[in-house]
A and B are shown apart, each in its own frame.
Chain A
Amino acid sequence: MIEFENVSMRYGPGREALVNVSFQINRGELVFLTGHSGAGKSTVLRLILGLETCSGGNLIVRKTRIKDLSRSDLALHRRQIGVVFQDHQLLHDRSVGDNVALPLEIAEFPQREVKRRVRAALDKVGLLHKEKCPPDHLSSGEQQRVGIARAVVSRPHVILADEPTGNLDPELSANIMSVFEQFRSVGVSILIASHDNFLLSQFRHRTLTLDHGRLRSNA
Chain B
Amino acid sequence: MPNSRPSVPSQAKQSLMSLLLQRHADAARQTVSRIRSGPLTASLISLVIAVAVTLPASLLLISLNLQTHLGKLNETSEITAYFPSDLPENRLSEISEHLHTQFVGIEVSYVSTALALAQLNEVGAFQLILDSLDNNPLPAALIVRTDEPSVATARKIEKVLLNLAEVELVQLDTLWLQKLLAWLRLLDSLTSALTIIVVGGLLLIIGNTVGSSVQNKREEIRIIKQFGGTDAFVRRPFLHFGFSLGAAGGILACLLTAGFGHQLGIAAKALALLYQADFVVVGLSYGQNVTMILLSASIGGLAAFFAVSRKIASFGL
User: Which residues of chain A have a CB within 8 Å of any CB of chain B?
Assistant: 49, 51, 60, 62-65, 68-73, 75-81, 83, 89, 91, 93, 102-103, 105-111, 113, 150, 154-155
Contacts and interface: CB of A to CB of B under 8 A. Distances in A.
B44 to A, nearest CB: 22
A64 B226 CA distance: 18
Given A75-B228, A77-B228, A60 B2 contact: yes
Nearest to B1: A63
Interface of B: 1-9, 11-12, 14, 18-19, 22-23, 26, 219-220, 223-231, 233
Contacts of A105: 26
Nearest to A110: B14
Contacts of B23: 108
Contacts of B233: 75, 106
A102 B226 CA distance: 11
The residue in B1, B19, B22 that gathers the most chain A C-beta atoms within 10 A of its C-beta is: B22
B4 A106 contact: no
Nearest to A105: B26
Contacts, number: 87
Contacts of A65: 2
Contacts of A103: 227-228
Contacts of B231: 71-72
A81 B225 CA distance: 12
Contact of B2 (A64, A89, A109): A64
A110 B226 contact: no
A62 B6 CA distance: 8
A108 B229 CA distance: 10
A110 B231 CA distance: 20
A83 B226 contact: yes
19 contacts: A62-B3, A63-B1, A72-B231, A73-B5, A77-B228, A79-B9, A79-B228, A80-B6, A91-B219, A91-B223, A93-B220, A102-B224, A107-B9, A108-B12, A108-B19, A110-B18, A111-B22, A154-B11, A155-B11
A78 B227 contact: yes
B123 to A, nearest CB: 74
A68 B226 contact: no
Contacts of B8: 76
A105 B228 CA distance: 10
Contacts of A70: 5
B227 A106 contact: yes
A62 B227 CA distance: 17
A71 B19 CA distance: 22
